[in-house]
Chains A and B, each alone.
Chain A
Amino acid sequence: MLEIKNLHVKLEEEDKQILKGVDLTVEAGKVHAIMGPNGSGKSTLSYVLSGREGYEVTDGEATLLGEDILDMDPEERAAAGLFLAFQYPVEIPGVGNMTFLRTAVNAQRKARGEEEMSSTEFLKVIRERAKELKIDADMLKRPVNVGFSGGEKKRNEILQMAMLEPKMCILDETDSGLDVDAMKLVADGVNALRSEGRGFLVITHYQRLLDHIVPDVVHIMSDGRIVKTGGPELALEVEKNGYTDIVEEVA
C-alpha cells in the first residue's frame, strides 16, 4: 500500500535535516503505529506524505499503490487515496462543514473520473456516518471546525475519513487533547473503517490510543529514523520503560 524508502527530508527555510532515511512499508489491511519521543520526526513524516509546503525531500521515495506521491499536489494525493487526520484541524470561518465535505467528496470523485455523488445520496450517507460518531446536525451546518471542542474536531476528522473512504489513512496524534471517552469514540470510528483494502499509519506519542486501535506493527522513531520495529508488545514496553532505553539500546 504505502512504501517509503530511505526518505530524507529537510526544512526548506533552515538547513535542518529532519528525516534521515526512513524505511517503512504499510500493507493493505494492516495498522502500523509510529511512536517516538518529541522531535523525532513523526509529524514531519505525515506532513511530507500529505504534501504540505515547507519541506524538501533530499533523498528517497514514497509510493502509494506503486505511484510516486512526492511529486503530486496535495489534492492529487488525496484523490489517489491518501488521507491525513490532522493533529490540529484547521478552522475555516464562512465555509459550512457540509458544503466542505460535499465539495471534497465530489472533487475526489471527479479527479478519479467517477460520477459525482448526488446531494440526496450525500445527505443520506453523511447522516448515517455522523450519527455513528455522535456528530449532530448542528455540527454539520456550522463552519468547518469553528467553535468545535478538541474532541469535536477530532471526530470531525474521522467523519471526513469515513466520507472520503481513503485507501491509506495517516492519523497524526489523533489522541492529543482527548479525554478517555472522546478517545474511545474516535477509536471506534477508526476501527469501523478498518478493512482488508485499507492501510493505517497511526502516529502517537502515548501508548494509550493503541489500547483502542490495536496495531499489527509498531515502529519506534528517533532522530529521523525508524530504530526499532515489533508487534503490539513494543508499545507496552515503551509505556513501561519510556523511550530512552530503546533509543539507547539501538544506538
Chain B
Amino acid sequence: MALPQAKQTETEARLAMLDLPAGGWTEAARRDALARVQAMGLPGRRDEYWKFTNPATLTQAEAPRAAVFDTQETQIFEAIDRLKIVFVDGVFDAEASDDLSLEGISIERLAESKADIHWAKDLYGTLETNGQTPVQRPLAALNTAFATDGILLHVTGTPSKPINLMYYHEDESSDAILHHVIKVDPGAEVTILENGPAAARFNEVMEVDVADTARFHHVRAQGRDHERRAATHIFARLGTESAFKSFTLTANGVMTRNECIIELTGDDAIAHVAGACVGDGDFHHDDTVFITHDAVNCESRQVFKKVLRNGATGVFQGKILVKAGAQKTDGYQISQSLLLDGDSQFLAKPELEIYADDVACSHGSTSGAIDEEALFYLRSRGVPHSDATNLLTLAFLAEAVEEIEDETLSAQVVEKISAWLLRRSA
C-alpha cells in the first residue's frame, strides 16, 4: 500500500539527509532496514502509536538545535568502578574511553567491525525486525539502516565491573544514531550503565540477546540538557531462566520517547522494566513498553513513576501480550504520576492481551497530587514545606528506583533525584 503523500515526503526528506554505510557484515541488514523504513514511512501524528506524543521533531530532516547544558556537577556513576566508553555527539572518543579489554566480555565498535563474518550478524537488525510486529517502530528501522557507530558486546562470563556508555553533548545541532548489540551467553552476567544527553537529537537502538540462565542489568540516566531530544529502543529476547532488568532515570529533556520491547521466549524468565522521571516545564516524556510472554512460568514487571510540574507531560503506553500456551504468566504493570500543579498532565494507556487461561496479570494507573495530610504531618514536625514536598516526591519515586537490584547504583540515582528536587525548591 502506498504511503500517504505527506508521510512519504517527510520520510524522503529525512532519508535524504543520511548516508547508508556500505560493505561489511551489516550491509544486508542495513539495506533491508532501509527498505522497511521506505515501506512503513516515519511516524506521524495520526499514527495510533503516536497518539500522545508528536513525533515531528524526532522525524524531521534536521535535528532541532539544543543548547549545551553546561553543568560542573559530577557524573552519576562517577563513584563506581566501571569501564568507560565515551561518545561525544555520537562520535567515539578513544582518548576519554578506557581500554576496551576486560575479562569475560569482548567489546568492539560497530564502526570498526568491517569483516564479512561476525557473531553479531545474527542479531543486528534481527531483534529490531522481530519487534516491528504487531506494532511498527520505523525510527528503530531507520537506526538499523543508518547507525554510524555503537558497541558490540559479547558477554561470555561475568565481567568484574559494569560497562558505562557515556554520551556527551557538545554540538548544538548534533544528530546521533547509535546501535548497540549485546549478547549474553548462558550463565553470563553483565551490567550496562548509560548516561548523558548524547546529542541535540539522539536515536538509539539496543538489541539484547539474553541466553538461557544469563542475567542482564541496565541502569540509565538520560542527560539533563533541557532542549535535547531522544528516541530510544531496547529490543530484548530472553531465554530460559534468564533475567533482564532495566531502569531509566529521566530528568529534563524537551522530548523523550523510550521504547522497550521484550520477548520472553524461554520458560521461567524474568523481565523487569522500570522508570522514574522528573519533568519541569517544557518536558515531554513517553515510556512505551511491549512485553510478549511466549513461554511458561515467566514473570514481567513494569513500574513507571513520573513527577510532573509547570506544564510537563508524561505518557505511558504499556502492553503485556500473553500468547496461547504461555501459562503461569505473572505480569504486573503500574504507571503513576504525581502532578505537582494543575498545568501538568499524564496520559496513560495500559493494555493486557491474554490468550492463555492460567495467568495472573494486573495493571494499574493513577494520577494524583501531593498528599495534603502527609504534608501537614511532616510540617507539624518542623519539616519546611519545600523539604516535606521533596521528601514525599522521593517517596513516590521510590517504588520505581527500588527496582534497581544494586543498592550502590540505586543510591546514586536517589542522589541525582534529590539534587534535582533541591535545585527546584531553592
Contacts and interface: CB of A to CB of B under 8 A. Distances in A.
Interface of A: 50-53, 73-75, 77-79, 83-84, 86, 89-95, 99-100, 103-105, 107-108, 111, 143-144, 160, 164
A144 B395 CA distance: 11
A111 B395 contact: no
Nearest to B372: A53
A103 B391 contact: yes
Nearest to B393: A94
B383 to A, nearest CB: 5
Interface in B370-419: 371-374, 376-385, 387-388, 391-392, 394-396, 398-399
B360 to A, nearest CB: 23
Nearest to B384: A75
A43 to B, nearest CB: 14
Contact of B384 (A53, A90, A107, A164): A107
A170 to B, nearest CB: 10
A75 B379 contact: yes
A74 B380 contact: yes
A67 B75 CA distance: 47
B377 A78 contact: no
A104 B382 contact: yes
Contacts of A143: 395
**9 A-B pairs with the lowest CB-CB distances in the bound complex, closest first:** A94-B395, A78-B382, A108-B382, A104-B381, A74-B379, A90-B377, A94-B398, A95-B395, A75-B379
Given A90-B373, A94-B396, A79 B378 contact: no
Given A52-B380, A78-B380, A91-B374, 9 more contacts: A50-B380, A74-B376, A74-B380, A75-B384, A90-B376, A92-B377, A94-B396, A107-B384, A111-B382
Contacts of B399: 94
29 contacts: A50-B380, A73-B379, A73-B384, A73-B385, A74-B379, A75-B379, A75-B383, A75-B388, A77-B380, A78-B380, A78-B381, A84-B380, A86-B380, A90-B373, A92-B374, A92-B395, A93-B395, A94-B392, A94-B394, A94-B396, A95-B392, A95-B395, A104-B382, A105-B382, A107-B382, A107-B384, A111-B382, A111-B384, A164-B381
Given A78-B379, A92-B395, A103 B387 contact: yes
A54 B388 CA distance: 19
A222 B371 CA distance: 32
A92 B382 contact: no
B306 to A, nearest CB: 15
Contacts of B378: 92, 100, 104
A73 B373 CA distance: 15
Nearest to A79: B382
Q: Which of A73, A77, A100 has the most CB of B within 10 A?
A: A100
A89 B382 contact: no
A93 B399 CA distance: 10
A162 to B, nearest CB: 13
Contacts of A93: 395
A67 B168 CA distance: 55
B376 A52 contact: yes
Contact of B391 (A75, A83, A89, A95): A95
A103 B376 CA distance: 15
Contacts of A107: 381-384, 387
A92 B372 CA distance: 11
A103 B380 CA distance: 12
Contacts of B373: 90
B377 A75 contact: no
Interface string B99-126: 0000000000000000000000000000
A129 to B, nearest CB: 15
A211 to B, nearest CB: 28
A5 to B, nearest CB: 23
Nearest to A111: B382
B78 to A, nearest CB: 23
Nearest to B394: A94
A194 to B, nearest CB: 21
Nearest to A74: B379
Interface string B360-373: 00000000000111
Contact of B382 (A52, A75, A95): A75
Contacts of B391: 95, 99-100, 103
Contact of B377 (A77, A86, A108): A86
A43 B283 CA distance: 44
Contacts of B396: 94
A100 B382 CA distance: 10
